[in-house]
Amino acid sequence: MPGNAYYCPSGNFLAWDENLMRAGYTQIGDAWVYLVIAHEWGHAIQAQLPERFVSQAVELQADCLAGVWMSEIKRRLGDGEIEGALNAAAQIGDDTLQRRTQGRVVPESFTHGSAQQRMRWLKRGYDTGKTQSCDTFGTSEL
């Protein structure tokens, strides 16, 4: 997908494609950019943790940490930005993307989580504003 972002653990930096704003999600608005960059920022925080995990829980935790960040800056966000970010999370849920590109959903191939999971973890981080609420590894409710 053009216009994506990523966290580079070896260099400890975030990077994004200059086309991020035009990545086909313009109908969502600026919240798309906030969510993607905040999600990658969540990966930067994870890199500072003593344990390394490779699973869907890592991606959902990054969504939750994105919500924590958005909670911290909510005074600077425009009206409706969290709703826009929740909509963006739904649009990039594995089920939504698979339905759009393949015409069917294959849950066992999910890498980042369903639309519902991504929205739930983003909202949890936003509502609590606490990184402690982002323990996707210590829960059975991914």
Residues 74-124 pLDDT 10s: 888 877 888 989 999 999 999 999 999 999 999 989 999 999 999 999 999
105, part of any domain: yes
Residue showing tokens 């929205």: 119
42, part of any domain: yes
pLDDT at 16: 80
Q: What range defines the domain where residue 80 resides?
A: 5-134
78 Cβ neighbours under 8 A, 6+ residues apart: 30
Give the total number of structural domains in the chain. Answer: 1
Taking a C-beta distance cutoff of 8 angstroms, is the pair 126, 71 a contact?
yes
The residue among 57, 19, 61 whose CA lies nearest residue 44 is: 61
19, part of any domain: yes
139, part of any domain: no
142, part of any domain: no
pLDDT band per the 50, 70, 90 thresholds, residue 21: low
